[in-house]
Structure 1
Amino acid sequence: MPHTVQVIGAGPAGLMAAEVLAQAGITVTIHDHMAAPARKFLLAGRGGLNLTHSEPLEQFLERYGEARPLLEPAIHAFPPEALIAWANGLGVETFVGSSGRVFPKQMKASPLLRAWLRRLEGIGVKLVTRSRWEGFDGTPTILALGGASWPHLGSDAKWVPVLQAAGIEVNAFKPANSRFLVHWSKIFRDKFAGTPVKNVALTYAGKRVRGELMISQEGIEGGAIYALSKGLREHPGQPVVIDFRPDLTVEALAQRLTRPRGKDSQSNYLRKIAGLSPVAINLLRETGTAPDAAGIKAMPLKLERPAGLMRAISSAGGIALDEVDAYFQLKKMPGCYAVGEMLDWEAPTGGYLLQASFSTAVMAARHLASQLKSG
C-alpha cells in the first residue's frame, strides 16, 4: 500500500513539498483554506516575480542573519541554481536583472503557477481547497501555512493556537520588509507620493545598504529600507541617514558645489552640479537639511514605526527555531514538519524569501520520504 502524506498550505512551500513527495512515489493531498492556491505568490508576481538571487552563495547566506545555521543546509541542498533549473523545467525561462535578482522572462507568477499545477496534477497530487487544518491526526504532515502578512490572501496565522496547545513555542509575528511611516507635509506628499528615489545609500545602527526607495502617501518603502527593517523595528528612535550621492566623497561633492550658481535657481543648480533628482532636492527641504555636501551625503530622516502586518511583504516571528530539528520536523510532533514562513526567520527582498521557502520544503519533503520508505 502506498504511503500517504498531507501537505497543509498551497503556497510555494506547500506546492514544492508536494512535488518532491509525489516524485518519490508518495500519495499526496494538499489542503488549503482558500478557494484557490498560491494567492500571495500571485500577488508577489504582479510586479515581477523575484525567484532568487545570483550573488555568491556565501554572500547570499549572510542575508538570513541569526537563522543562517538552520537554513544553510537546506539552501545547500536546493540552492539558487537548482531553483532556476526547476523553473526552466516547467518551461519558464529566467534572466538575471541588473541588481543580480533572478526573474522569469515573462515577469509574472501566473504562467509559472499554471505550469506547476499541471505538473502536480500529472503526478497525482490532489488539491483540496476551502479545507482548514485543525490539528495533527497522526497522518504524516508537512505544514506550509505561511506567516502573518497579507492575511486576506491566506497567511492568517490561525494555526498558531493549534501549535501552542501542543506546547510548541511560537514567537509573535511582526512586520518585515515593511513600509515605515513618515509624517510628510501635505505639499510634499501630494507632489511626490509614488516617486522613486534611486541609487541611494542608507545607514542605520552602523549598517549601510545601497538601493532604491519609494515615497508613499504614508511614508517610505523600497529595497533599501527593507534591508534595514529588522534594525529599524527592534531598535527604533534614531533617524535613518540617507546618502543621495553614494559614489562621491564629501570632499568631491563639496568641490563641485564651489562652482558659481549664476542665474540658476537652487533646484536647477543642485540638479546640474550635484546630480540630485527633484524628489531628493525636496526631501532636503522637507527635513530642513542644508543642501551642502554634508547634508546631501547624510540627510537624517525620522521614521515613526512600521506600517503593520496587513501589507508587509513578509513577517518576522513564527515557530521558534529550536522547536524543529535539522530537517524541519517538529520535535514535539514527530511526523509533522513546518516549512517556509511559518518558521521564525526573516530576510530582505531580493529572492531570499522564496529561495528559503522552497529550500526548506525540499529538505523536509526529502527527509519525510526517506523516513517513510525506510519504515
Structure 2
Amino acid sequence: MTGIAPLPEIETDALVVGAGPAGLMAAEQLAQAGFSVRIAEQMPSAGRKFLMAGKSGLNLTKDEEMPAFLGAYGGAAAWLAPMLEAFGPDAVQDWARGLGQPVFTGSTGRVFPEAMKASPLLRAWLARLAGLGVRLDTRWRCLGWQDGALRFETPAGPVRVRARAVVLGLGGASWRRLGSDGAWAGWIGAACAPFAPANVGLRVDWSPHMARHFGAPVKGAALSSGGVVSRGEVVVSARGLEGGGLYPLCPALREGAGLRVDLCPDLEVGALAARLARVPAKASGASRLRKGAGLSPVKQALVQECARPLSRDPADLARVLKDLGVPHQGVRPLDEAISVAGGVARAALDDRLMLRDRPGVFACGEMLDWEAPTGGYLLTGCFATGRWAGLGAVDWLRGAQAAARA
C-alpha cells in the first residue's frame, strides 16, 4: 500500500505571515540584519488594507508631543509606549521620506504623503524589500502549525515552511474582503480577547423625516459617550451615524453607553438661552433653532428627531441643545469596522512581542489586543509593533547563532 507523500517543506531564517504594514515593517528589520526572509500573504497582492486607507489620503501619523500621542491609545498606552517611543511620529515621517515620499502636516497635525495616496509608498517599500532579498509569496493561506512548521495552502498545493523565527502580522477581523478575517485565532495557540468592532459607525433607526438629510455632515458639534468627548465630524446616513467623530467613542458605545451631542459647544448654556430669548415668541420652532441657535438644517432635524416636543422656554431649550441624547441600537457589525479591539492578549506575549508558549514566534499589528482611533494613530501603531516584533526576531536569531557557535 502506497503511503501518503510528505508535504514539500521550505526552510528559511525568518518567515513573516501577512504583508500588511506591520508584517512588512518586521520583514524590513530582519532583512536589514542580514537574515533570509520570506513573506507569505493570503491575498493576491500585498498591503490591500493599506491601499484602501490611502484612498482617503493615507494618514500616516499625527505630529504631536509624545504624551498626547500616547494618550490616544487609552488602556494600551503603557504597553505600547516603548514601541511608539522607538518609532513614533518623527520616525514615521523620516521613514516615508527615506522611501522617496515627502510628507506634509495638515492644520490638525495629521501627516500625509504629498502624493495623498498609498500606492507610490507601497511600491517603493516593496522594491526596497526585494532589493534586500525578501521573497513575497501571494495567495498563500496559513492553516496553522504542523510538526513545528507552518502549513500553507498555495496555488501549487500545500506546503510547509520551517523557519527559525516567525513573525505573525495577520491583521484583525475586520474588512474580510481585504484579507483580515481573524481565522488565525483558531490555530495560533495563544490566549486571545474576543474581537469587537472599533472605529465604526453607529446604528440609529431614524424616522422617515430624516431621509432627506442622509449624507449631510454634522459639523461644529461635540459628541460624548462614557466620559469621552469628541469634536470630530459625523454624517447622517440611512443606517445611522458614521464618521471619525464617533471613533474615539467606540469603546463606550460598544458597551451600550448613550450618545450625547452638544450642538453648540462654543456657547455656554446661559449665552445660548439669551440668544434664543431674542427670537420673537411667535416664531416657529425651526426659526428659533435657526435664528437663535444658528443650527444647520441637519442639526435642526436631529433636535426634532430626538427631543420633540420642544420646550418654548429658552433656558430649557438651551439645555436640550447642549445635551441632546441620540437613541441608538449599538455599533455597526465587525466586518464594517475599520479596525478591531481584541486579539492576542498582552499576557500571552513577552516584552519583545514573542508568544510565551511558542518560542521564536512573534505577533504584531492589529493581531494584538489594542485599539486606537484613526488620525494616524492606527497606522503608526502597526508600524511600531511590526518593527518591535521584527527586532525581537532579530535578537532571537542572533541568540541562536551565538548558541550554535558556543
Q: Name the TM-score class by shorter chain.
A: over 0.9
The AA in structure 2 aligned to 1:232 is: L
Matched, 1:254 2:273: yes
Q: What does 1:356-375 align with in structure 2 at a 5 Å threshold?
A: 356-374=381-399, 375=401
**Structure 1 unaligned residues grouped into runs of 5+:** none
> Which residue pairs with 1:150 in the alignment?
175
User: Among 168, 172, 178, which residue is 2:194 paired with?
Assistant: 172
- Kindly provide the CA deviation profile for residues 220-261 of structure 1, in whole angstroms up to 9, marking residues without a partner as x: 122221111101112x1x531100111111111111112234
> Counterparts of 2:115 and 2:215 in 1: how far apart (Å)?
24
> Which residue pairs with 1:288 in the alignment?
307
Q: What does 1:256-271 align with in structure 2 at a 5 Å threshold?
A: 256-261=275-280, 266-271=285-290
Deviation at 1:263, TM superposition (A): 9.1
> Which residue pairs with 1:241 in the alignment?
260
Matched, 1:40 2:54: no
> Counterparts of 1:211 and 1:260 in 2: how far apart (Å)?
29
> Counterparts of 2:253 and 2:137 in 1: how far apart (Å)?
40
Say whether the 8 Å CA contact 2:340–2:371 is kept in structure 1: yes
> Counterparts of 1:48 and 1:275 in 2: how far apart (Å)?
32
The AA in structure 1 aligned to 2:216 is: T
Say whether the 8 Å CA contact 1:323–1:330 is kept in structure 2: yes
Q: What does 1:97-246 align with in structure 2 at a 5 Å threshold?
A: 97-136=106-145, 137=149, 138-139=162-163, 140-163=165-188, 166=189, 168-188=190-210, 190-234=211-255, 236=256, 238-246=257-265
User: What secondary structure does 1:305 align onto?
Assistant: coil
> Counterparts of 1:276 and 1:16 in 2: how far apart (Å)?
47
- Kindly provide the CA deviation profile for residues 276-320 of structure 1, in whole angstroms up to 9, marking residues without a partner as x: 111101110111353721121111101101110111010111111
> Counterparts of 1:261 and 1:146 in 2: how far apart (Å)?
58
User: Among 322, 330, 339, which residue is 1:297 paired with?
Assistant: 322
User: Among 71, 74, 77, which residue is 1:68 paired with?
Assistant: 77
> Which residue pairs with 2:8 in the alignment?
none
User: What secondary structure does 2:393 align onto?
Assistant: helix
Say whether the 8 Å CA contact 1:178–1:221 is kept in structure 2: yes
> Counterparts of 1:277 and 1:226 in 2: how far apart (Å)?
23
Percent of pairs identical after alignment?
Answer: 47
Say whether the 8 Å CA contact 1:31–1:131 is kept in structure 2: yes
> Which residue pairs with 2:340 in the alignment?
315
Aligned length: 368
> Counterparts of 1:106 and 1:268 in 2: how far apart (Å)?
45
> Counterparts of 1:64 and 1:29 in 2: how far apart (Å)?
31
> Which residue pairs with 1:350 in the alignment?
375
> Counterparts of 1:149 and 1:135 in 2: how far apart (Å)?
20
Kindly name which structure, 1 or 2, has the bigger radius of gyration based on alpha carbons.
Answer: 2
Deviation at 1:3, TM superposition (A): 7.0
> Counterparts of 1:91 and 1:194 in 2: how far apart (Å)?
37
User: Among 309, 327, 334, which residue is 2:352 paired with?
Assistant: 327
- Kindly provide the CA deviation profile for residues 136-183 of structure 1, in whole angstroms up to 9, marking residues without a partner as x: 4151110000000001110011111111xx3x1112111111111000
Q: What does 1:7-26 align with in structure 2 at a 5 Å threshold?
A: 7-26=16-35
Say whether the 8 Å CA contact 2:226–2:258 is kept in structure 1: no
Aligned residues: CA RMSD: 1.8
Deviation at 1:196, TM superposition (A): 1.1
> Counterparts of 1:193 and 1:44 in 2: how far apart (Å)?
24
User: What secondary structure does 1:13 align onto?
Assistant: helix
User: What secondary structure does 1:346 align onto?
Assistant: coil
TM-score normalised to the size of structure 2?
A: 0.86
Deviation at 1:262, TM superposition (A): 8.7
- Kindly provide the CA deviation profile for residues 17-49 of structure 1, in whole angstroms up to 9, marking residues without a partner as x: 111211111111110111111111111111121
The AA in structure 2 aligned to 1:214 is: V
Say whether the 8 Å CA contact 1:3–1:372 is kept in structure 2: no
Moved more, 133-142 or 218-227: 133-142
Moved more, 172-181 or 281-290: 281-290
Say whether the 8 Å CA contact 2:41–2:139 is kept in structure 1: yes
**Structure 2 unaligned residues grouped into runs of 5+:** 1-10, 150-161, 312-316, 402-406
Deviation at 1:14, TM superposition (A): 0.7
> Counterparts of 2:252 and 2:393 in 1: how far apart (Å)?
36
Deviation at 1:8, TM superposition (A): 0.2
Deviation at 1:216, TM superposition (A): 1.6
Say whether the 8 Å CA contact 1:325–1:331 is kept in structure 2: yes
Deviation at 1:265, TM superposition (A): 5.6
Structure 1 segments of 4 or more deviating over 6 A? none
Deviation at 1:266, TM superposition (A): 4.5
